[in-house]
Structure 1
Amino acid sequence: MSEAAIGQLTGGLSPAAAMLAISDWALHLAAAPGKRMELGYKAARKSARLMTHLLASAADVAAAPAILPLPGDNRFRHESWQRPPFSWLAQGFLFQQQWWHNATHEVPGMTEHHTDIISFAARQILDMFSPSNNPFTNPEIIARTVATNGMNFVQGWRNWLDDVTRQATGRPPAGAENFRPGIEVAATPGKVVYRNHLIELIQYEPATGKVHPEPVLIVPAWIMKYYILDLSPENSLIRWLVAQGHTVFAISWRNPDAEDRDLSMQDYHRLGVMAALDAVSTILPGRRIHATGYCLGGTLLAIAAASMAQARDARLATLTLLAAQVDFSEPGELGLFIDSSQLHFLQSMMWNRGYLSAGQMGGAFQMLRSNDLIWSRVVRDYLMGERTPMIDMMAWNADSTRMPYRMHAEYLQRLYLDNELASGRFLVEGRPAILQNIRAPIFAVGTERDHVAPWPSVYKIHHVTDTEVTFVLTSGGHNAGIVSEPGHPHRHYRIHSCRLGDCLPMACDWHQAQEPRQGSWWPAWHDWLISHDGDELVDPPTMGAPDRGLPPLCDAPGTYVLQH
């Protein structure tokens, strides 16, 4: 109870974990005179380079910068940052950022995990004091203030007050009311054909006279509402699949509350994936299924596929994993928040409530991309006085979910910390779920800028399975890379199939060997699906199976997606 109370003040971060990392860094840095001398030398060199730039730009405002921002850092992209004195502020900040990177890396004797934590903390503090966040040192804010006679701050105050009021009263962010599930988003026609305590199964109405014989079952992550794959009609993956002649089913997860605290990973396997597969098999008896899992849903689907292979259940025609990890030995930046100390602290907080709140999860994801998701919004909404336009993906992101205490604790301990799935030690109903037993062809998608499931980690599906794997690396992040409809500008992807016996390159070598293809990866996936499908198109199935105990219950998107 005491740890749960402390968690309210720390945003769910364990003070013990933070102190362990700080102590590791400070003690080893104090015991490394060579490292300290190196840092002093680097500080002198960077100061000299900065001074040289200041003198050169004082004489010629068009002088080339001495240091460039990291890729993806757009804080100083505006042309006003290229002229003194603002260019001096930006250059000084970038040199300081680079020095702190040196100070927090390659400290002799320091553990890799603590190195990542200290480096991450240093970035957060530096970003907080970036000159781009200060109204007196940001030329864009100054120009906006002059142009509006200071009214930008008045409007920014109104925006801040509106956001704080909405958060305190539990209302969605401004503009989210224009993206209502079942109306503007999650609007692909369909019926809920099965419901239990954990899921609603949606069957979508056919849009073509004939359909491909084998259906597609989508298993989304329970950390999110399912309609990330059914946003607006123009970028809905589900609607697009239906338009290509696929019979599509999708799971909509229940939003758990305190009464669901004891739901386990086994429950999500049994009442989730397996119950959905059984319902699809009842509606379409004798048909094999193209199972598709997104994020955590893909991990759960891989567990189910391995368990089915162990039981010689051959209902899966193919397995598609979208931004889903099965080997958690290198989980990426999300691993910053997962270690034994942090997990113990998190379990105390979940025990107190019975679930992990959406605010805790959202806060962790925002900190991973604080420049884009926190400070850029502060500058635009509160200092520039402009509202960031609401889009369907932002509204979906604000439509939050929760995670049951027991299931989330098991997930973090068994998969992230112990990596039981990749090592063949994950048990399903007392038997090991061994990924090497999977024989269904696999289509795996990673995204280039994924902070949740880094693509080199997703690529490891090659290492832990003994089946044909087609791997796609697409532009974009964890969500935007998957929601990448045909016609979306500035999209590209790489694709390659690896069959049994092929020489498997390392992830970096694979990336260099594959030429990027312009456009969306969706058509490539469709072609892959039909290459593993039946030869002839068939008549669309009925909605549900009333004669077999599965009548349509209500219209899509159902009731679980509306739970808050």
Structure 2
Amino acid sequence: MIDTAYRATLSQLTAGLSPASLMQHYMDWALHMATSPGKQGQLGALAVQNWTDFSRYLLRCGLKHDHSPCAEPDAHDRRFRDAGWQKQPFNAYQQAFLLTQKWWEAATTGVRGVSSADEKAVNFTARQILDAMSPANFIATNPEIMKKTWDAKGGNLIEGARNFQEDFQRALMKEKAPIPEAYRVGETVAVTPGKVVYRNHLIELIQYDPATDMVQPEPVLIVPAWIMKYYILDLSPENSMVKYLTDQGFTVFMISWRNPGAEDADLGMTEYRQMGPMAALDEVQRITGAARVHAVGYCLGGTLLSIAAASMARQGDDRLASMTLLAAQMDFSEAGELTLFINESEVSFLEDMMWKNGYLDAAQMAGAFQLLRSNDLIWSRLQHEYLLGERPESSDLMAWNADTTRMPYRMHSEYLRHLFLDNDFSTGRFEVEGHRLTPREIRTPIFAVGTETDHVAPWKSAYKTGELTRAEVTFVLTNGGHNAGVVSEPGHPHRHYRMGRAYANHHFIPAGDWAEAADHYEGSWWLAWVDWLKAHQTGEQIKPPAMGKAICDAPGTYVMMR
């Protein structure tokens, strides 16, 4: 108990990152580096080369006859896009930083004897430290901030100080940022008409009003992630997936998860499966009388739905007509940088951190995701809000992103251990009701969606659905990230996607080969998905089924819990 309390307190200072875990990664790299004189020599030579290149660059710039850089920023790095970075002395700051970044990339990779996991973790940590030291983060070395300060006579810094004071005060008081008036749940977002027709301790089930005179014979049940509020799929009317489905003649049900508190600490994956998709499926069938249902799972909701589908298949339960997985994973062996620090040390540290409150706080969870895109989500925010004095214009997606949720102690611990750490489901070791499950149990047709720049569920990890199951898998790879790629309504500008089967001639197609061979389409993948859903319906269209007994109007009460 003393150790747990101590580590829970320590976690507040380390943002939930285990010092022991980080030290393990570092020591593996440092000890092997210390016994690699050849690698040290290569790094010394690279340092000399970088210094020589930098000196020549400064000389060329001084003579004003050649400004060819000796290092280029990454294509996705937006820090140095302002034209001011091409002028002296800011170009020198930029080049010095990029060359330093290049050296550390070489120093943290390719050290003989270092495990792949430790190498990736040390490389990731080095990038975070370097990103914090970027010249873009400081007034005197950022030309864009310098110009804004001059033009505004320092007004931007005064406004930035106000922004910092507001955010710092909220952090001290542990208050959430206010939701913008323009994006109030039930008023301007999550407004598709419907009723809450079922409620248990973990979910409210929303049935949406029909929008057409005739509907498809089999209903659609959506299982969102409990790590987020459900209305990511019912934002504004123009980009609501729910509204689009009802407009296309589908009977739609949505799970809205409870935002757990300390009293829910002992709820685990079993309770989330039984009281979530399984309870909802029973109720959907009771209300509609449909023999089969089309299930949709988003992110963690897709993982939970996959486990439920495998368990149902094991028991001979064929109520799922199809399954759609949106940025969801069954296999976590290649789950991206989010898994870099997930080991026994880190999981036990997180368990101790959750011990005090009984849940993982939303701010702690958000910090992990922000680190994955620190340039955009941490340092870019610092520059714009505190140095340029510019708050970003609000949008429905940003308002939803600020409307955070919590994760119960036991469920989050089981999720990290059995899925992230041990990868039990994909390897056939995940136990449900005394049976070990594997995705190979699943034979239900699957429509799986991955997004090109997903930092939470990398698309190649989502693509493994085709390899792990015995189902007919249609895979879609759309541009955008984990959220924006899914919220990809028809008419959204600059949208495109690739689509194709994961199998050809009874052989699984590797992800790279699939990406090259898949058909390219312009526009929203929603249209292709709706065609696929209709093709997997059984029977002719029917009159809309009666609504279930209403408990309250949508969006319900659980979504309002903060």
TM-score (norm 2): 0.97
Unaligned runs of 5+ in 1: 545-550
User: Contact 1:174–1:390 at 8 Å: present in 2 too?
Assistant: no
Unaligned runs of 5+ in 2: none
Offset at 1:163?
1.9
Closer, same or farther: CA 499–99 of 1 in aligned 2, 3 Å: closer
In structure 1, the partner of 2:339 is 335
Letter in structure 2 aligned against 1:468:
E
Is 1:36 the counterpart of 2:40? The answer is yes
Offset at 1:288?
1.2
For 1:502 and 1:282, the matched residues in 2 are separated by 38
User: Contact 1:202–1:252 at 8 Å: present in 2 too?
Assistant: yes
In structure 2, the partner of 1:538 is 542
In structure 2, the partner of 1:557 is 555
1:519-534 equivalences in 2 (<5 Å): 519-534=523-538
1:76-475 equivalences in 2 (<5 Å): 76-173=80-177, 176-475=180-479
Closer, same or farther: CA 438–242 of 1 in aligned 2, 3 Å: same
For 1:174 and 1:252, the matched residues in 2 are separated by 21
Q: Deviations over 1:377-411 (max 9, x none)?
A: 11111111111112111111111111111111111
Q: Deviations over 1:47-99 (max 9, x none)?
A: 22222222222233762322211121000011111222211111111111111
For 1:125 and 1:33, the matched residues in 2 are separated by 25
User: Contact 1:218–1:249 at 8 Å: present in 2 too?
Assistant: yes
Letter in structure 1 aligned against 2:240:
S
User: Contact 1:265–1:411 at 8 Å: present in 2 too?
Assistant: yes
Deviates more, 1:318-327 or 1:228-237: 228-237
SS of aligned partner of 1:293: strand
For 2:65 and 2:148, the matched residues in 1 are separated by 22
Closer, same or farther: CA 157–300 of 1 in aligned 2, 3 Å: same
Q: Deviations over 1:479-509 (max 9, x none)?
A: 1111111111111111002457433221122
Deviates more, 1:40-49 or 1:378-387: 40-49
Offset at 1:176?
2.9
SS of aligned partner of 1:192: strand
User: Contact 1:220–1:226 at 8 Å: present in 2 too?
Assistant: yes
For 1:499 and 1:455, the matched residues in 2 are separated by 17
For 2:19 and 2:36, the matched residues in 1 are separated by 26
Letter in structure 1 aligned against 2:317:
D
User: Contact 1:258–1:354 at 8 Å: present in 2 too?
Assistant: yes
1:11-50 equivalences in 2 (<5 Å): 11-50=15-54
For 1:529 and 1:59, the matched residues in 2 are separated by 65
In structure 2, the partner of 1:548 is none
Q: Deviations over 1:441-479 (max 9, x none)?
A: 001111111111111111111111111100011111111
User: Contact 2:425–2:437 at 8 Å: present in 1 too?
Assistant: yes
Offset at 1:174?
5.6
User: Contact 1:213–1:287 at 8 Å: present in 2 too?
Assistant: no
**Superposition CA RMSD, Å:** 1.4
Offset at 1:212?
1.0
Offset at 1:307?
0.5
Q: Deviations over 1:292-327 (max 9, x none)?
A: 000000000000001110111111110111000101
Deviates more, 1:101-110 or 1:515-524: 515-524
For 1:280 and 1:60, the matched residues in 2 are separated by 72
Q: Deviations over 1:156-207 (max 9, x none)?
A: 1111112223334454436634321111111111000000011000001111
For 2:438 and 2:375, the matched residues in 1 are separated by 40
Offset at 1:20?
1.0
SS of aligned partner of 2:151: helix
In structure 2, the partner of 1:547 is none
Letter in structure 1 aligned against 2:559:
V
Offset at 1:346?
0.6
Offset at 1:344?
0.8
User: Contact 2:296–2:323 at 8 Å: present in 1 too?
Assistant: yes
Q: Deviations over 1:520-540 (max 9, x none)?
A: 111111111001013422111
Letter in structure 1 aligned against 2:236:
S
User: Contact 2:32–2:111 at 8 Å: present in 1 too?
Assistant: yes
- Give the one of 476, 482, 495 matched to 1:478: 482
Closer, same or farther: CA 45–92 of 1 in aligned 2, 3 Å: same
TM-score (norm 1): 0.97
User: Contact 2:361–2:407 at 8 Å: present in 1 too?
Assistant: yes
For 1:529 and 1:238, the matched residues in 2 are separated by 14
Letter in structure 2 aligned against 1:432:
R
Q: Deviations over 1:322-358 (max 9, x none)?
A: 0001011111110023111000111111122211111
Is 1:493 the counterpart of 2:497? The answer is yes
Number of positions where the alignment pairs a residue of Structure 1 with one of Structure 2: 558
User: Contact 1:61–1:83 at 8 Å: present in 2 too?
Assistant: no
SS of aligned partner of 1:471: strand
User: Contact 1:199–1:254 at 8 Å: present in 2 too?
Assistant: yes
SS of aligned partner of 1:516: strand
Deviates more, 1:363-372 or 1:533-542: 533-542
User: Contact 2:360–2:406 at 8 Å: present in 1 too?
Assistant: yes
Deviates more, 1:529-538 or 1:408-417: 529-538
User: Contact 1:215–1:249 at 8 Å: present in 2 too?
Assistant: yes
User: Contact 2:288–2:546 at 8 Å: present in 1 too?
Assistant: no
User: Sequence identity, in percent?
Assistant: 56
Offset at 1:361?
0.5
For 1:30 and 1:420, the matched residues in 2 are separated by 36
User: Contact 2:159–2:389 at 8 Å: present in 1 too?
Assistant: yes
